[in-house]
Amino acid sequence: MTFRLLCCLLALGAAAPAQAKMFEAESFTLGNGLEVVVLPNHRAPIATQMVWYMVGAADEHPGKTGIAHFLEHLMFRGTKETPPGAFSRIVADNGGRENAFTTADYTAYFQNVAADRLPLVMKLEAERMTGLVLTDEVVLPERQVIIEERHMRIDNNPAALLEEQVDAALYLNQGYHHPVIGWESEMRGLTTADALAHYRTWYAPDNAVLVLAGDITVEQARALAEKYYGPIPSRPVPPHVVLAEPPKVAATRLTMKSSRVAETSWTRSYLAPSYLAGDYRYAYALEVLAEVLGGGATSRLYKTLVVDDGICLSAGAFYDPQARGLTGFGFHASPKRDVPLADFEAKLEAVVKTALTDGVTADEVARAKTRMIAQAIYARDSLSGPARIVGAALAEGRTLDDVQAWPDRIGAVTVEDVNEAARLVIHDDQSVTGILLPQPTS
């Protein structure tokens, strides 16, 4: 399931009282500033704990790229009470699963366990919120681990390498300019002192969100949160700095060839408002626009380029409004080998130009909104999905009401809104085009 569809999941709870009972999302704040959200789901005796820290790669200091992701790794390397490796082993020994992930805007840690093991993982997670122990003996070997991870995930993946370059061209000034995993030249210089500084600056209860989902009541959640997290003192946290993007005055075109790819991949990206930045009143309209132009087999791009003209293997649109700063809106396609790139681009640009000049139709907008809600319905049985959606929204600075109001806000989008949003964002003289081409080995 795409992240956007999961975002619909909890939001559906606001659409009708019968559906709202499935989640019954409630929130409260502890005395130390930790925000707690509870999403009861008693279908199975399983619970999910997620702790979201409101810090990610976009908050890193110049020259220290990758430190947010590096600290995510180091959070598993032991505390005063839990030696290195014991955290994951304890969770596994109790039949649970755990992991963590870092993005540009937040870092999150989660465990899925039997409901009666929830106190155990809450104790472990609360302990490493303030009790992490880091030494060179622990940090330096782990630094080599993240460098090897970069080699595997980025350097050995032509598509990932090109995407990294596209982001660097799209975001000239925002923290999204650099990759979450970091530039290798800077990763090699990260130290124990850097990790401790990041940890002591950002990892505090008043800079975190605790989400508990599954077979738990609000009363149980409150008692457990007070017991394990309540004693942790609050600590001043610096404000997030979202740098302004300078006006784009030229289009950028990046072309990469690789013998590791079999088919051409093409993307074109534009800076766009998010839920929180830019002309954010158009964020919901841009979601609908992405669905109309490239949301599936009946979208304009797919139908024209894949079905009718038969010049592409795939085609679609992308837009993720989940960001503190400006985000990207754009199109992607994989033209067939025997189709000249110029001919393909002319066809795609014609589809987009028609949408800009003639506008999308009221029927297209209505059907897109219906599909978006319908697709989300299939996702609503997920246990951890709502926890991820709520946590991400709150960690980025949005509210529970924002998430729950998603259907109403999508429903209120008009065809005029969608056409205005398209004209606001799509300017090819301000775009970044990324092209990945197969390169013969002989």
Of 389, 418, 199, 401, which Cα lies nearest the Cα of 329? 418
Helix %, strand %, coil % for the chain, to 5? 50, 20, 35
For residue 299, tell me if it sits in a domain: yes
121 SS3 class: helix
Confidence of residue 190 (pLDDT cuts 50, 70, 90): very high
Q: Are residues 320 and 184 in the same domain?
A: no
Q: Are residues 294 and 176 in the same domain?
A: no
- Averaged pLDDT for residues 385-410: 90
Please tell me the distance from the alpha carbon of residue 160 to that of residue 167, in angstroms, as a whole number. 11
Q: Are residues 198 and 258 in the same domain?
A: no
**CB under 8 A, 24+ apart: contacts of 412-417:** 412/284, 413/284, 413/285, 413/287, 413/288, 413/365, 413/369, 414/365, 415/359, 415/360, 415/361, 415/362, 415/365, 417/282, 417/284, 417/285, 417/288
Least confident of 109-123, 218-232, 380-394, 425-439: 380-394
Q: Which of 24, 26, 60, 72 is catalytic?
A: 72
H helix or E strand, kind and range, residue 167: helix 158-170
For residue 237, tell me if it sits in a domain: no
Structure pTM?
A: 0.92
Q: Are residues 85 and 204 in the same domain?
A: yes
Please tell me the distance from the alpha carbon of residue 337 to that of residue 311, in angstroms, as a whole number. 9
The answer to whether residue 174 scores a pLDDT higher than 80 is: yes
Confidence of residue 441 (pLDDT cuts 50, 70, 90): low
- Quote the pLDDT of residue 440: 79
- Averaged pLDDT for residues 253-266: 96
For residue 373, tell me if it sits in a domain: yes
- The structural domain count of the chain equals 2
The answer to whether residue 383 scores a pLDDT higher than 70 is: yes
- Averaged pLDDT for residues 1-12: 43
Domain coverage including residue 217: 3-228
Please tell me the distance from the alpha carbon of residue 80 to that of residue 250, in angstroms, as a whole number. 54
Tokens of 394: 């709150």
First to last CA, the chain: 39
For residue 314, tell me if it sits in a domain: yes
- Cβ pair 395, 315 in contact under 8 A: no
- Averaged pLDDT for residues 406-432: 95
The DSSP bridge partners found for residue 347 are none
Strand order in the sheet with 265-272: 252-258, 432-438, 265-272, 327-335, 312-319
Burial class (CB in 10 A: 0-12, 13-18, 19+), 16: exposed
Reported as a single tens digit per residue, the pLDDT across 10-22 is: 444 333 333 333 3
Burial class (CB in 10 A: 0-12, 13-18, 19+), 330: buried
Q: Are residues 196 and 291 in the same domain?
A: no
Amino acid identity of residue 155, one-letter, is: D
Q: Are residues 260 and 222 in the same domain?
A: no
Q: What percent of the chain has pLDDT over 70?
A: 93
The answer to whether residue 261 scores a pLDDT higher than 80 is: yes
- Averaged pLDDT for residues 50-67: 97
Reported as a single tens digit per residue, the pLDDT across 329-352 is: 999 999 999 999 999 999 999 999
Q: Which residue has the tokens 């923290």?
A: 175
Please tell me the distance from the alpha carbon of residue 30 to that of residue 224, in angstroms, as a whole number. 11
For residue 245, tell me if it sits in a domain: no
Please tell me the distance from the alpha carbon of residue 133 to that of residue 110, in angstroms, as a whole number. 20
Confidence of residue 406 (pLDDT cuts 50, 70, 90): confident
Please tell me the distance from the alpha carbon of residue 68 to that of residue 199, in angstroms, as a whole number. 9
Please tell me the distance from the alpha carbon of residue 248 to that of residue 415, in angstroms, as a whole number. 27
- Quote the pLDDT of residue 376: 65
Q: How far is CA 9 from CA 14, 48, 211, 237, 292, in A?
A: 10, 16, 15, 31, 20
The answer to whether residue 165 scores a pLDDT higher than 80 is: yes
The answer to whether residue 79 scores a pLDDT higher than 60 is: yes
HSE of 403 in the Cβ direction (CA atoms, 13 Å)? 30
Reported as a single tens digit per residue, the pLDDT across 83-122 is: 998 999 999 999 999 999 999 999 999 999 999 999 999 9
Residue 81: active-site member = no
CATH of the domain at 321: 3.30.830.10
Please tell me the distance from the alpha carbon of residue 370 to that of residue 292, in angstroms, as a whole number. 11
Where among 178, 195, 228 does a domain terminate?
228
- Averaged pLDDT for residues 376-382: 65
Cβ neighbours for 192, distance < 8 A, ≥ 6 positions apart: 134, 135, 136, 139, 140
Please tell me the distance from the alpha carbon of residue 333 to that of residue 191, in angstroms, as a whole number. 41
For residue 242, tell me if it sits in a domain: no
- Quote the pLDDT of residue 377: 64
Q: Are residues 209 and 299 in the same domain?
A: no
The answer to whether residue 7 scores a pLDDT higher than 80 is: no
Q: Are residues 38 and 161 in the same domain?
A: yes
- Averaged pLDDT for residues 251-265: 96
Q: Are residues 367 and 413 in the same domain?
A: yes
Please tell me the distance from the alpha carbon of residue 328 to that of residue 177, in angstroms, as a whole number. 12
For residue 111, tell me if it sits in a domain: yes
The mean pLDDT value of the chain amounts to 92
Q: How far is CA 377 from CA 8, 9, 141, 290, in A?
A: 8, 7, 45, 19
Confidence of residue 386 (pLDDT cuts 50, 70, 90): confident
Q: How far is CA 357 from CA 333, 349, 350, in A?
A: 22, 12, 10
Reported as a single tens digit per residue, the pLDDT across 270-288 is: 999 999 999 999 999 999 9
The answer to whether residue 303 scores a pLDDT higher than 60 is: yes
Q: Are residues 342 and 214 in the same domain?
A: no
The answer to whether residue 69 scores a pLDDT higher than 90 is: yes
Q: How far is CA 147 from CA 69, 151, 196, 243, 366, in A?
A: 11, 6, 19, 28, 47
Q: Are residues 292 and 425 in the same domain?
A: yes
Reported as a single tens digit per residue, the pLDDT across 118-139 is: 999 999 999 999 999 999 999 9
- Averaged pLDDT for residues 221-236: 97
For residue 236, tell me if it sits in a domain: no
**What single string gives the DSSP state of each residue in 182-208?**
--HHHHTT--HHHHHHHHHHH-SGGGE
Q: How far is CA 192 from CA 16, 19, 274, 308, 362, in A?
A: 51, 48, 35, 57, 57
Q: How far is CA 328 from CA 6, 65, 243, 422, in A?
A: 19, 21, 16, 13
Q: Is the dihedral of CA 342, 344, 345, 351 positive or negative?
A: positive
Q: Are residues 268 and 145 in the same domain?
A: no
**What single string gives the DSSP state of each residue in 345-371?**
HHHHHHHHHHHHHH---HHHHHHHHHH
- Quote the pLDDT of residue 422: 98
The answer to whether residue 152 scores a pLDDT higher than 90 is: yes
